[in-house]
Amino acid sequence: MKRLVYINDDSRRYSYCDNRISNTKYTLWNFFPKNLWEQFRRFMNQYFLLIACLQLWSRITPVSPVTTWGPLIIIFIVSASKEAWDDYNRYLSDKKANERNVWVVKDGVRRQIKAQDIHVGDIVCLHENDEIPCDLVLIGTSDPQGICYIETSALDGETDLKTRIVPPISANMSVEQLEKVKGIVECPNPDNDIRRFDANMRLFLPSVDNEKCPLTINNTLLQSCYLRYTEWACGVAVYTGNETKSGMSRGTAEPKLTAADAMIDKLTIAIFMLQIVVVLVLGYFGNIWKHTKGLKQWYLMYPAEGPWYGFLVIPLRFELLCSIMIPISIKVTLDLAKGVYAKFIDWDEQMFDWETNTPAHSANTAISEDLGQVEYILSDKTGTLTENRMIFKRCCINNIMYGNDNGDALKDARLLNAVSSNDPDIVKFLMVMALCNTVVPVKSNDDTVSYKAQSQDEEALVNAASNLNMMLISKDSSTAEICFNESKFKYELLDVLEFTSDRKRMSVVVKEGQTGKILLLSKGADEAILPRVYPGQQKQRYLEAVEMYSQLGLRTLCLGWRDLEEDEYKEWSKNFQEASCSLENRESKIAEVCDSLERDLHILGVTAIEDRLQDGVPETIKLLRNAGINVWMLTGDKQNTAIQIGRLCNLITSEPNSQLLSISGKTEQDILRSLERALLITKNTCETKDLAFVLDGWALEILQKHSKESFTRLAMLSKTAICCRMTPLQKAQLVAILKSVGYLTLAIGDGGNDVRMIQEANIGVGISGREGLQAARAADYSIGKFKFLKRLILIHGRYSYNRTAFISQYSFYKSLLICFIQILFAFLSGFSGTSLFNSISLMAYNVFYTSLPVMTIIFDKDISETTVLQYPQILLHSQAGRLLNPTTFCGWFGRSLYHALVIFFITICAYADEKSEMQELSMVALSGCIWLQAFVVMMDSNSFTSPQIILIWGNFVAFYMINLILSAVPSLQLYTIMFRLCGQPSYWITMALTVAVAMGPVMAFRYFRNLYWPSPINILQQIEQSNGSIQPSRNVESALKPARTNLTNLLTGTRGSRGSSYQPLLSDSAESTR
Amino acid sequence: MDPFEMQDNSKNSNKPKYSKFTQQELPACKPLLTPAIVISAFLLVGIIFIPVGLASLSASQEIVELIDRYDTTCVPMADKVGYIQDSKTDKSCIRTLTVPKHMKSPIQIYYQIGDFYQNHRRYVKSRSDKQLRYKNAAHFTKDCEPEGYTADGVPIVPCGLIAWSLFNDTYTISVNKKAIGVNKKDIAWQSDKNKKFGSDVYPRNFQNGNLIGGAKLNESIPLSEQEDLIVWMRTAALPTFRKLYGRIETDIMANDQLTVVIQNNYNTYSFGGSKALVLSTTSWIGGKNNFIGVAYLIVGGLCLFLALVFVVLYMFKPRNLGDLSFLSWNRNTLDCPN
């Protein structure tokens, strides 16, 4: 499918949409229905809607419909307002962008219009530093050569400048001509590929040249980029509004469900089942009672003949009574809490990166708990573990290795001497370093030259060359000037054979200014260059150099060149042009043509670039591994380099304690055999020994095809793996393998090649680094440095998990509590489905009385941050899901049943006989619930900060205030009830009794457990308490040593201990550790 | 705000603003369940609960309560239901009671009914608060079915099953053969009389149907003065309940002979319920109810006992809190996988 754009043709300008950008999800009109529809897609909401509708049937409803409609509507309003607010902000920012003024040419006249009024085919004029309003095909710039620079960071996050060239067909047109130009651009339909634009353009009069001219991405100015260092530029709008490349690549990510959420859903279903059982049993009893006893109760006046559905009435009534068993507010409460966790991450000062001025950011606010349960971290290497700041360290030229003694070739006297003596090999080597790249030299005011480069390696090479007196002074689309030892040389840049990850090399074709000789200069990975040498060249020495450098953890590149004959070049150039113009399969065609030129190379030498480890990486990895997290490194780099980096950053320890299992081989059989062997060794080795396997992309491909199961088993057994030569897809596949066996994975990376794995993993973390922000944008969390990962996981993840575990189970507790009381009351009210509590109390219970205190848990910290970082093993506790699983839930369930029994029996005994007035008795029971829930929150909080205390007891006071106010309204059932109760000494005495009986055993049980069967958390709390706040001072350190070893034992026994010390009560609980 | 946008603007630092709140560093106290805290908490509860329990129990014990279940004796053995449903027979029944202890005025007279489900959903809903309160709201009988309208379709005031089944036994009490007055004023809550039952609402068409439920009402007295009805309409939450019948405002001495003439009208026989007459003095704790006192004593005693157990345990099996040598959760041996 093609799109035809008629340049500057008013009659056809309305065939495509205008340039109005819209990121909003709703419009004013569809907000209500669409939002309702979205909300009702949740099962819970459907359930509550059904309950609410049933309540409208007055025959069966035990309480006023308000009890469900009220909370339901409040919850809907809360979620809807959040959506509306977000959408409104999006609308505002859209509006700002849409109403920006831009200059366009209309009817041959320059006019200023709003950005939203641009149409396809308009000619848009931009000035320096303007934001590009829509996707344009460049047709003219202020630069005589027809280039302009743009900054694309908003699009792909790359901060370097990119060159854009006016297509030759419109080059050299004057401003007047440009304003009148007419023509057709033939381009593909809108897509989201920001690296591809395979189109062509034809201009009509006044241009004479009527040929088709190919267009590439290099001839475009894409929306949301900025024009830099160029006075003006103008272009033809080809895609507008939401059809631009940046508009098409905006998408809404699928919401991720955390492990904790999945567990909550499971528990909800279990409770739902329980509810059905309770309803059936009580309904059965109800009908029995009605027929045996009810008909004799003359004052009830049961009609002898009921309607046909009579037997359904009582069960349905109980269904409505028990609907509160599932807390209607849990979703809202959890969403709010999760929002706060995310904010805490954004706010965290200690995760702020000074160097890049980036705070941590959580783009996905819903999955913080998962951070606390991470089991596998899959990390990229370059830019994630390393700084991605390339420094030229060593080189091997003409079989001589430079930089061996001091580790820095730039200071190697032999090299410096060779440079000053104009050694021809060295000069050529430096020339390739300076010319064979896509670096843009930018001259600043004081005549110094700085380099803007897309690739860090290229920048390092150019900088190193200039340090060795080979300076790249200037460069434009067709010429480059270098300066060597004070003399300048001009080169004509004929073609650039671009780098792709498949080709793993790049070349340029240049023509020497003075001699007119045509040269091919190439650089690339050893395996991409060395096979292309001319027959007979000695490669051995270079292979050794590559081997040695990668042993040192350095990145290597091979440089080469060859002379081109004029004819040969011309012939090739034609093919190249053709390939570049093709609309289909352009990339592979170009690769094929390039391949034909890049052969018979003379190898000049090997460069070695160091990429230093980021600050704090080894410590962080050690900490994370101590926390029981398995760390895998996935990289596109060479095996040796990868292993070396792995050693440096504590990923693999030295020989006696660890063993590297290499899965490799020349044939498929070899690879499969090595896999079997690795699996055997892994199975038979005690877990105290660190085992790591190493494999490369090719081996993974084979394994995927032939032995996926054994590989998966190996993956489950290995704590460490180094996977090199991985393509972006393979990285994602590895994540998928681990996910498929139920592990919680976190992928961290910084570059565009990590995006797929970041999106695939349960949690994606992006480093907002030097390779741009692509990864950070796709990720759920973005951080400035790898070392912040430890805070993200150990502090934020762990606290979030703990807090969510409490909030969710507590929500069930409080709902079950009041529901059990209702059920118990059924036994005293003839199973007739009378509600003990009045409608107002029931509604307010879930929404007001109990929602605030539980929120205080978002401030709770069980143990301090320093303790967690000191004993990272404690993460195993949350990783294994010890705080939220069927067992703990049974604890809460039992507690709510016990508390319900206590409240109910104390209430009916204390308020028996003449006091058993319905309203009073129900209020006593409700007060009991409120007292207990305040004490339960107190008991389960680990720390008390002022907001916690204010909220818990403020809520308590608010309960009395609200009920006293309600008691002053004569039309309510509650009228005067609370005043009467508060005046009775027996009311207060009853409350105290309830609390003592309900909380006493809980406290005693806690105490026994803390003292005699303490959990690791308890022990650490006790350590904290006994040492004051833990500072890693020396004497404390020594005192803590035994703990360390014990905790380490725990760590090494992770897998084993998970099974043995965690005894599930429900059959499906094995899943809960996942 | 998107942090990415600000990236290049290095003059404006993106550093999050520091505050103790945002950094989660609010000063916090972290109480632990240490032996000292727990033992003293249990001790404290025990020390407070036992005196309160004693006080409640003695208050309850001081109350003199006289219960006389009369439903079984005030009816012929055969055909109880037929007897009670026959409106023509004289159903008076004389009970003689001896007062065991001095009873100080005011003495509350209650009737106690057992196995009567005032809390049944069919029953508890069957009333119209609007109708009781407002003169012109007689037609609000939607909830009162099946006692909303008479057979002629005229609204019943007060409507509903609760009012219809109003208790109608009466007691005439004499002490030592000398009749004493039973004060039936102010037995209902003042708030009900003022705000819930209208002073300008009079009973209409009440108990006019074929089925007579309970008591009839004097159509010339407004609802706000029909205190028996008001008391009855405060439904009880439990199937056995007492409702105030009246007060005796003179003291009754110990060993005095009480003669009560009961008009045994109310039908509890068809559903096997019980009826009793209760005379009781009052105190600060309300009526006679030993439950709170006993419960307090038990809880207080248990707390003291637990505190003692904790102390003993702590002495014989001392555990150093935070002592790392007993990480018992780590005892499992490390096996090689498979």
Given pLDDT bands bounded at 50, 70 and 90, which one contains residue A923? Answer: very high
CATH number, domain containing residue A199: 2.70.150.10
Looking at the predicted structure, is the pLDDT value of residue A1072 above 80?
A: no
Residue A388 pLDDT grade (very low, low, confident, very high; cuts 50, 70, 90): confident
Residue A116's contacts (CB-CB under 8 Å, 6 or more residues apart) are A18, A19, A20, A21, A98, A99, A241
Q: Does B306 touch chain A (CB under 8 A)?
A: yes
Note whether B246 and B294 are same-domain residues: no
Do A916 and B241 lie within an 8 Å CB cutoff? yes
| B237 CB within 8 Å of a chain A CB | yes
pLDDT average, residue stretch A104-109:
76
Tell me if B3 is assigned to some domain: no
pLDDT digits (tens, 9 = 90+) for B282-319: 888 888 888 999 999 999 999 999 999 999 988 887 76
User: Which residues of A are less than 8 Å from B332 in CB distance?
Assistant: 1053, 1056-1057, 1060-1061
Pair B59, B185 in one domain: no
A736 and A624 part of one domain: yes
What pLDDT does residue A1022 have? 82
Confidence category of residue B278, pLDDT binned at 50, 70, 90: very high
Query: Least CB-CB distance to A1022: which of B32, B112, B191?
Result: B32
Short-list A677, A829, A955, CA closest to A293: A829
For residue B321, the Cα-to-chain-centroid distance in whole angstroms is 46
Average confidence (pLDDT) over A751-779: 78
The kind and range of the H/E element at A70 are: helix A66-98
Mean pLDDT of chain A: 82
Question: Does pLDDT of B336 surpass 50?
Answer: no
Strand stretches in A907-1042, DSSP E: none
What pLDDT, on the 0 to 100 scale, is given for residue A155? 67
**Cβ <8 Å between A687 and B334:** yes
Of residues A705 and B278, more confidence is placed in B278
Query: What stretch of H or E contains B179?
Result: strand B178-179
pLDDT (0 to 100) of residue A205 = 61
Same domain, B86 and B228: yes
Instruction: Determine the pLDDT at residue A13.
Output: 65
Q: Which of B282, B308, B333 is the last residue of a domain?
A: B282
Confirm if A68 and A328 have CB atoms less than 8 A apart.
yes
Q: Which residues in chain B are closer than 8 Å to A912, comparing Cβ atoms?
A: 238, 240, 289, 291
Q: Assign residue B272 a region (left: φ > 0; alpha: ψ between -120 and 50; beta: otherwise).
A: left
Judgement on whether residues A632 and A601 belong to the same structural domain of the protein: no
Report the pLDDT value the prediction gives residue A22, as an integer from 0 to 100. Answer: 78
Annotated binding-site members of A: 380-382, 458, 499, 523, 555, 635-637, 725, 731, 750, 753-754
Residues A585 and A516 in one domain: yes
Are B50 and B134 contained in the same domain? no
- Please tell me the distance from the alpha carbon of residue A955 to that of residue A957, in angstroms, as a whole number: 5
Q: Predicted ipTM?
A: 0.91
A122 a catalytic residue: no
Between CA B103 and CA A494 the distance in angstroms is: 121
* pLDDT, tens only, A997-1032: 999 999 999 888 888 888 888 888 888 877 654 444
Average the pLDDT over each of A203-212, A424-433, A790-799, B252-261 and give the range with the smallest value.
A203-212
Query: Tell me, what's the pLDDT at A769?
Result: 65
Q: What is the 3-state secondary structure (H, E, C) of A411-441?
A: HCHHHHHHHHCCCHHHHHHHHHHHHCCCCEE
Q: Which residue has the higher pLDDT, A609 or A67?
A: A609
Whole-structure pTM value: 0.80
Domain end among A189, A220, A250: A250
Interface contact flag, A993 B292, Cβ < 8 Å: yes
Name the residue facing A357 among B14, B120, B234 (closest C-beta).
B14
Are residues A469 and A439 located together in one domain of the fold?
yes
Is B336 a member of any domain? no
What is the number of domains present in chain A? 4
Mutate one of B187, B324, B335, B336 to test the A interface: name it (highest A CB count within 10 A). Answer: B324
In a domain, B170, yes or no: yes
Work out the percent of chain A whose per-residue pLDDT is above 90: 16
Flag whether B277 is in a domain: yes
Whether residues A902 and A1010 share a domain: the answer is: yes
Asked if the Cβ–Cβ distance from A916 to B284 is below 8 Å, we say: no
Binding residues of A for ATP: 380-382, 458, 499, 523, 555, 635-637, 725, 731, 753-754
A368 part of a folded domain: yes
User: Which residue in A989, A1026, A1046 is closest to B321 by CB distance?
Assistant: A1026
Band (pLDDT 50/70/90 cuts) for residue A94 is confident
Let me know how many helices (H) and strands (E) chain A has, helices first: 38, 33
pLDDT digits (tens, 9 = 90+) for B197-216: 988 889 988 888 778 888 88
Question: Between chains, do B30 and A1055 touch, taking CB under 8 Å as contact?
Answer: no
Which whole number is the average pLDDT over A50-78? 80
CATH number, residue A381: 3.40.50.1000
Note the pLDDT of residue A988.
Answer: 93
Q: pLDDT tens for residues A297-312?
A: 888 888 877 788 888 8
At A621, the amino acid letter reads I
Q: Which of residues 19-48 of B touch A (CB under 8 A)?
A: 22-24, 26-35, 38, 41-42, 45
Are B196 and B274 contained in the same domain?
A: yes
Rg, Å, chain B Cα set:
32
- Chain A residue with minimal CA distance to B298? A997
How does pLDDT run across B18-30, given as a tens digit for each residue? 888 888 888 888 8
Distance of alpha carbon A899 from alpha carbon A998, whole angstroms = 6
State the count of interchain CB pairs (< 8 A) between A and B.
Answer: 306
What's the mean pLDDT in A170-195?
79
Q: How far apart are CA B232 and CA B218, in angstroms?
A: 16
Q: In angstroms, rounded to a whole number, what is the distance separating the alpha carbons of residues A872 and A867?
A: 8
- Gap between the terminal Cα atoms of chain B: 52
Pairing of strands A147-151, A2-7: unpaired
Is there a single domain that holds both residue A395 and residue A374?
A: no
Asked if B250 and B312 sit in the same domain, the reply is no
Q: How far apart are CA B282 and CA A1030, in angstroms?
A: 60
In this structure, the answer to whether residues A178 and A307 fall within a common structural domain is no
pLDDT, residue A159, reads 56
Is pLDDT at A1034 greater than 60 in this prediction?
Answer: no
Instruction: Report residue A1064's pLDDT band, with 50, 70 and 90 as the boundaries.
Output: very low
Tell me what the mean pLDDT of segment B101-127 comes to: 90
Domain match, A599 and A655 both: no
Q: What is the pLDDT of residue A1039?
A: 40
Is the pLDDT at A439 greater than 90, yes or no?
A: no
Asked whether residue B68 falls in the same domain as residue B102, the answer is yes
Catalytic entry in A122, A380, A457, A696: A380
Q: Which residues pair with A748 in a beta bridge?
A: A379, A765
Does B80 map to a domain? yes
- Alpha-carbon distances, residue A1011 vs A882, A941, A1014, B38, B46 (angstroms): 19, 18, 6, 11, 22
The answer as to whether A31 is a domain residue is no
In a domain, B239, yes or no: yes
Residue B229: inside a domain: yes
User: What residues are paired with A533 via a beta bridge?
Assistant: A601
Domain membership of residue A924 as a residue range? 259-341+795-1024
Domain residue limits at B55? 33-63+286-316
Clarify whether residues B86 and B140 are in a common domain.
Answer: yes
Cα A92 from chain centroid (whole Å): 26
Across the interface, whether the CB atoms of A297 and B271 are under 8 A apart is answered yes
**What number is the average pLDDT over the span A427-444?**
85
pLDDT at B1 over 60: no
* Position B324 confidence tier, pLDDT thresholds 50, 70, 90: low
How many Å apart are CA A871 and CA A864, to the nearest integer?
A: 11
Both A593 and A646 in a single domain? no
pLDDT at site B16: 79
A148 with A168, same domain: the answer is yes
Looking at A742, A760, A793, which one is the last position of a domain?
A: A793
Q: Which residues contact A746 (CB under 8 A, 6 or more apart)?
A: A371, A374, A376, A377, A378, A761, A762, A763, A764, A765, A793
Same domain, A903 and A998: yes
Residue B195 placed within a domain: yes
Task: Place A654 in a pLDDT band, splitting at 50, 70 and 90.
Answer: low
Please identify, among A766, A793, A820, the residue that sits at the C-terminal boundary of a domain.
A793
d(CA A892, CA A884): 10
B118 with B49, same domain: the answer is no
Task: Report yes or no on A433 lying in a domain.
Answer: yes
pLDDT at A1067 over 50: no
Distances (CA, A) of A908 to A502, A821, B275: 79, 11, 20
pLDDT of A246-285, one tens digit each? 777 665 556 677 888 888 888 888 999 999 999 999 999 9
Q: Measured in whole angstroms, how far is the alpha carbon of residue B296 from the centre of its chain? A: 19
Residue A786: helix, strand or coil by DSSP?
coil
Does A52 reside within a domain?
no
Selected for mutation to probe chain A from B132, B327, B328, B335 (highest A CB count within 10 Å) is B327
Domain of A478, CATH number, reads 3.40.1110.10
Note whether A285 and A239 are same-domain residues.
no
Calculate the alpha carbon distances from A279 to A46, A65, A315, A830, A1051 in Å. Answer: 19, 19, 6, 15, 46
pLDDT at residue A469 above 60?
yes
| Domains of chain B: total | 2
Q: Measured between beta carbons, which residues in chain B are less than 8 angstroms from residue A343?
A: 22
Mean pLDDT over residues A503-516, rounded? 86
Check CB contact under 8 Å for A1019 and B35.
Answer: no
Question: How far does CA B301 lie from the centroid of its chain?
Answer: 27
- A708-732 pLDDT, tens digit per residue, is 888 888 888 888 899 988 877 888 8
Enter the DSSP assignment of A796: I
pLDDT at A802: 92
pLDDT of B331 > 80? The answer is no
For chain A, percent of residues with pLDDT exceeding 70 = 91
B98: contact with A, CB 8 A cutoff: no
